[in-house]
Structure 1
Amino acid sequence: MNSKERVKMVFEHKEPDRVPIDLGSIGPSGISAIAYNKLCEYLGIKCSCRIFDVYQQIVIPDEPVLKRFNVDLKAILPRVDKWREERLADSSICYVPDKWRPVILPDGSKIAYDGDIVVAKMPYKGYYFDHVYRPLEDATIEDLDDFVWPAPFSFYKLPNLHCHIKKNYMIF
């Protein structure tokens, strides 16, 4: 039974040959960049550690890792045209979308802007960004009608979703 068949059986409330395995097809099943680098080192697998969720520092798992754990699901992610190298809190290397440019403050913490508004902050040696912009914190129900909802990160090319669709993976 392949991955696609296995997951389809679960959705049909039928018993597959084994429980489907997920690693990173959705945010909650993802793995943080530091943990991922340590996992790859432990397994002896060379990994790229590309971060797709810059706030949570969640990576796109590499194919050798997915195969090692017999992962059944893959994400469809926005295409990133250019990646750049960064260092994580433990000094290991990761790659982030080139247009993701948080500002490093004198104390070593990082802040992220959306235009001229600070939207997120990561403490020095932190593992993820905290959302700090709360435009609806004091809003009323009536305020929601006039609220201009922000667009997704501009460094993702949403019209041209890019993914590695394999015929035997279930895609989410």
Structure 2
Amino acid sequence: MKMTPRERVMASVNHQNPDSLPMDLGSNVSAGISGMAYGKLKEYLGITTGHNRIYDVVQQVAQPEIQVLDIIGADVLDVGRVFNTEDSDWYDVALSNGVAAQWPDWFRPRHNKDGSYEYFDCEGTLIAKMPNGGMCFDQQYFPYKEDYPENYNDLDKEMGKVIWSAMVHSPWDHSNEKYFWETLRERCLVLKNSTDRALMITCGCNFFEWGTFLRRMENYLMDIYEEPEQVLALNDQLLERHLKNLENTCKYLDGIVDIVRFGDDLGMNNNMFMSLEKYHTLFKPYHTNINEYVHKHSSMKTFLHSCGSIFPVIGDLAEAGFDILNPVQTSAANMDPAKLKQEYGKDITFWGGGCNTRKILNMGTEKEVYDYCRRMIDIFFQDGGFVFNQEHNILGDVPPQNIMAMYKAVEDARR
């Protein structure tokens, strides 16, 4: 029976066999495409209309247009597209590789003589910097770099100075506006009624990552072992804020949005950032809490973006209640796709792993890309539990013909 894209995605997430392989590009800021690559892809496809709009300015990720999603057959939409819809919301720029694009009107970084960009907040704090020729902005301000505060009275203000909040993508760049939640609900309803694609919203709800954003990576990794009580105290504060956000998300978007996306990168290339014991005591209870809240108060599925070598913790992530795991970085150690599917294919949906973005998609031939993707599809797409997506974002060095070879593999697998 022919399914709609939404039905196809949700069937696979529920570990049922859909009518064909579900596929994603751009459902969130870790499953998308760099504006540099997007501009070249449109040129390759002969598309001269529309825009190359960079809705995530930190990673310089473009918002794929419906015309492009129709061509490649993508099944999911990020609801962030319901904001910044007017031409006046954007202005023209040239990206580092010369590709024409647009940045949100609110984003006005300083362009220095050496070609670098710097972004300051309204108080003059240097938030982020992108070097000349760079592909993304790097965090410059770490509020608790020197030490934890005596209390968390200023936590909201300090979180607002972190790059991922100060330069946040839509719809959250409008979250301080009056009637934001009512407007978001109204516009998401319009979107749902105008498309049969699945809808996703990114809600962050990071714990480990917020620790690194606030304390800086090297400090926070030591804290996990030397000051676990401080880690727990911070997590308690974060949980309070995350649950408040999830309360509104469930209240206003249940029945409209299908998937809520969280993020917490737990892995490096060769191993996890911490031992399993530390994950169990410092982070798993909090992950369980946010999943329980969403599942109790809505019908939405929960999606975790977690990079790297995380095989040892996947069972715990499923126990914590995550329905979906992304980006399935098979290029990391101990992330063999066949083993992942065999061990955890019935417990969690793999959203990603479709193409290695480190060596294959960017440096392989079209045939190598196609053959690789077909192998991954054969492994992962058994009894549902798989949505095709590359491993993280398509970066600016990926040739457009390789991108289309990847989608050709999806197209042929659907036949």
TM-score (norm 2): 0.39
* Structure-2 residue corresponding to 1:57: 60
* Structure-2 residue corresponding to 1:98: 105
Where structure 2 has 5 or more consecutive residues not aligned to the other structure, the ranges are 201-415
Q: Are 2:130 and 1:130 equivalent residues in the alignment?
A: no
Which amino acid in the other structure matches residue 52 of structure 1? Y
Q: Is the 8 A contact 2:6 2:75 kept in 1?
A: yes
Write the distance in 1 (CA, Å) between the matches of 2:129 and 2:13. 39
* Structure-1 residue corresponding to 2:72: 69
Aligned CA distance change for structure 1 residues 121 and 144 (closer, same or farther; 3 Å): farther
Which amino acid in the other structure matches residue 110 of structure 2? V
Residue number among 149, 157, 160 corresponding to 2:174 in the alignment: 157
- Which residues of 2 match residues 10-159 of structure 1 at below 5 A? 10-46=12-48, 47-77=50-80, 79-80=83-84, 81=86, 82-115=89-122, 116-140=124-148, 143=150, 145-149=152-156, 150-151=159-160, 152-153=165-166, 156-158=173-175, 159=180
Where structure 1 has 5 or more consecutive residues not aligned to the other structure, the ranges are none
Q: Secondary structure at the match of 2:39?
A: helix
Q: Are 2:169 and 1:169 equivalent residues in the alignment?
A: no
Residue 144 (structure 1) shift:
6.2
Write the distance in 1 (CA, Å) between the matches of 2:138 and 2:108. 16
Which amino acid in the other structure matches residue 7 of structure 1? V
Give the superposed CA RMSD: 2.1
Aligned CA distance change for structure 1 residues 91 and 68 (closer, same or farther; 3 Å): same
Paired residue total = 171
Q: Is the 8 A contact 2:130 2:137 kept in 1?
A: yes
The structure whose residues are more often strand, as a share, is 1
TM-score (norm 1): 0.89
Q: Secondary structure at the match of 1:15?
A: coil
Aligned CA distance change for structure 1 residues 88 and 9 (closer, same or farther; 3 Å): same
Which amino acid in the other structure matches residue 144 of structure 2? L
Which amino acid in the other structure matches residue 195 of structure 2? K
Which amino acid in the other structure matches residue 174 of structure 2? K
Write the distance in 1 (CA, Å) between the matches of 2:15 and 2:126. 45
Aligned CA distance change for structure 1 residues 138 and 20 (closer, same or farther; 3 Å): farther
Select between 113-122 and 39-48 the one with higher mean Cα deviation: 39-48
Write the distance in 2 (CA, Å) between the matches of 1:29 and 1:5. 20
Write the distance in 2 (CA, Å) between the matches of 1:38 and 1:133. 33
Q: Are 2:10 and 1:8 equivalent residues in the alignment?
A: yes
Residue 146 (structure 1) shift:
3.4
Per-residue CA shift, 1:104-136, capped at 9, x if unaligned? 112110000122111100001211111111112
User: Structure 1 vs Structure 2: percent identity of aligned residues?
Assistant: 32
Q: Is the 8 A contact 2:127 2:166 kept in 1?
A: no
User: Which one scores higher on RCO, CA 8 angstroms, separation ≥ 6?
Assistant: 1
